[in-house]
């Protein structure tokens, strides 16, 4: 690697959105280190880190500092932080398999989507204009709708974490009893559940759409190979 290349690489590493990404990583590390001893502080740090996910994107567009590294850093940070919280919830609530299944769906759908994006030659995994699903197009085409769904998921998971008093809590019982205690909490849980349900539906659609794109890529590649052999 030449000396001229290094300053350019350093410049990208030090993009403002990427620096925000590094701060998010540090906040998440601190949050999970104290999650059981200081639930309130954990929730604040976790949610602030999540909010920064939108802030770094705004800076990237505003400062013209969009980068592939930043996009990957952003997605990896999101997936790991959500995965850690889902693992914790799987140990607190019964049945824990619910949260582990959500974890598997979240990682699989985003990994397939990112990989299929590179195969199709698109510059962003959010480019789904050619999708046949109106809900999928709405999700990635409307930032407010996508933000609502994502925030709903994280808020629901944080609420569940804060509500848990002991291990092996019954998930349904906790949601129902908490909703009965406070009207405000009931409304918040209902809204969060709605956004969460839409987000999981999007994950399923995304997984299927991305898997189809990978299969279609294989079919096209084999057809091209056959054409070359005939020539």
d(CA 169, CA 89): 10
Crossing angle of helices 143-163 and 183-230, in 10° steps, is 120
Q: Other CB atoms closer than 10 Å to residue 55's CB: what's the count?
A: 14
Annotated catalytic residue: which of 53, 56, 74, 78? Answer: 78
Structure tokens at 2: 């030449």
User: What's the token pair of residue 91?
Assistant: 């140990």
* Sign of the CA dihedral with 145 first, then 148, 151, and 152 last: negative
Active site residue 127: no
For 5, 101, 162, 172, 181, the CA distances from 168, given in Å and listed in that order, are 54, 17, 14, 12, 21
Residue 69: Cβ within 10 Å count: 14
At 74, list the tokens. Answer: 């952003």
Nearest to 106 by CA among 211, 29, 204: 204
83: three-class secondary structure by DSSP: helix
Active centre residues (catalytic) = 78
């Amino acid at each position: 690697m030449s000396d001229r290349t290094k300053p350019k690489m350093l410049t990208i590493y030090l993009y403002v959105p990427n620096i925000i990404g590094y701060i998010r990583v540090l906040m998440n590390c601190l949050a999970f280190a104290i999650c059981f001893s200081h639930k309130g502080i954990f929730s604040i740090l976790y949610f602030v880190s999540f909010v920064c996910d939108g802030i770094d994107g705004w800076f990237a567009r505003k400062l013209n500092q969009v980068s592939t590294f930043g996009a990957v850093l952003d997605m990896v940070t999101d997936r790991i932080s959500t995965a850690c919280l889902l693992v914790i919830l799987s140990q607190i609530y019964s049945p824990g398999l619910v949260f582990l299944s959500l974890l598997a769906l979240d990682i699989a759908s985003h990994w397939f989507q990112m990989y299929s994006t590179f195969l199709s030659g698109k510059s962003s995994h959010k480019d789904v204009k050619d999708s046949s699903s109106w809900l999928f197009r709405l999700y990635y085409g409307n930032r407010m709708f996508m933000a609502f769904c994502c925030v709903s998921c994280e808020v629901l998971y944080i609420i569940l974490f804060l509500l848990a008093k002991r291990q092996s809590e019954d998930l349904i019982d906790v949601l129902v009893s908490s909703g009965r205690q406070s009207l405000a909490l009931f409304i918040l849980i209902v809204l969060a559940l709605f956004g969460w349900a839409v987000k999981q539906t999007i994950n399923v659609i995304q997984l299927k759409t991305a898997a189809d794109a990978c299969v279609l890529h294989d079919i096209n590649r084999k057809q091209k190979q056959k054409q070359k052999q005939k020539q």
